[in-house]
Amino acid sequence: MPLPLVIWAVSAAVGAIVGARAVATAQRNTYRLAVLGMGMSGKTTLINSWRGEWVDGDPGRTNAPLVYEKVKLTANGRQLIFKRLVDVSGQQSAWPVWEDRVNESRHVLYLLKATHLLAPAEHRPAVAAQAWHRIEDDAGQIRLWLDEGRASLCVLVVTHRDLDPRFADLGEDAYEHLVCDQLDPIVMKLGGDRRVRIVTGSLVDPDAAAAVTDKIMQHIAAEER
């Protein structure tokens, strides 16, 4: 066999292998996420942190959805791509938009504020009760969409942990246990431990948001394995 032909064949084979591996890696690191949650739960802040567009203070309310076709970020040392990320309104009347998101996504993040988990005595009773009912309603609805759609995992992301006085008292591990116990009825409503994971954190600054993202992606990566 002539030498140039051998060189050509070897380089073609190496190129094919490298190309196939690059495609496989890109596919492995590409995610379709639905980011849901009540108003002011931190959806926009979390998405902005992924986009590297941190806004000091409150970004305000999301009325019409914002679509980001491709968001590149690094979490747990991995380069990730979030495809067709949509920042949606947290209103209950936006459920049809949420449903579309769940149907188009493989993983669902449901954000809720830690202060909504405070016992009525520690918080404004009416607000806590109202928020809890809303979380229950959302969970019931998301369960239906999960059953119908192709999303395989729902991550409950408890945000604003820094505003929950119990966090300072208990420390991280005990606080997470407490929150997991509190969210047990919601987890059951969403389909049980097999389908639901819980993450707690804060979105007070970009580092805190990155830590929340790392935890979320650990669960998603573990589920994919």
Partner 1 sequence: MVEQARLRIVYTEFGEHRPPVIWHNGKFLSENDLDARAAVHRLFASVVSKARRDVMMSYGRAVRVGPMTSAGTLLLVETSLSPVVADGAPSKVTVVVTLTNAEPGWGASCATHATELLASQGVASGASHLQHALEKGWHATAPSRCRTALRICAAIHAVLLNGRRRLREAMGLR
> Cα separation of 225 and 217, whole Å?
12
6 vs 67, beta carbon nearer partner 1: 67
What is the Cα 51 distance to its own chain's centre?
Answer: 14
Q: How far is the CB of 90 from partner 1 (least distance, A)?
A: 8
21 vs 124, beta carbon nearer partner 1: 124
Given phi > 0 = left and psi -120 to 50 = alpha, else beta, which region is 82? beta
> Cα separation of 41 and 43, whole Å?
6
75 vs 128, beta carbon nearer partner 1: 128
Q: How far is the CB of 40 from partner 1 (least distance, A)?
A: 7
Instruction: Tell me the three state secondary structure of residue 197.
Output: strand
40 vs 180, beta carbon nearer partner 1: 40
Q: How far is the CB of 27 from partner 1 (least distance, A)?
A: 25
89 vs 182, beta carbon nearer partner 1: 89
| Token reading at 36 | 């849901």
Instruction: Tell me the three state secondary structure of residue 81.
Output: strand
Q: Are 13 and 21 a contacting pair, CB within 8 Å?
A: no
Q: How far is the CB of 61 from partner 1 (least distance, A)?
A: 4
> Which residues contribute to the site for partner 1 (CB under 8 A)?
38-40, 58, 60-61, 63-67, 89, 91-97, 100, 127, 130-131
Q: How far is the CB of 17 from partner 1 (least distance, A)?
A: 38
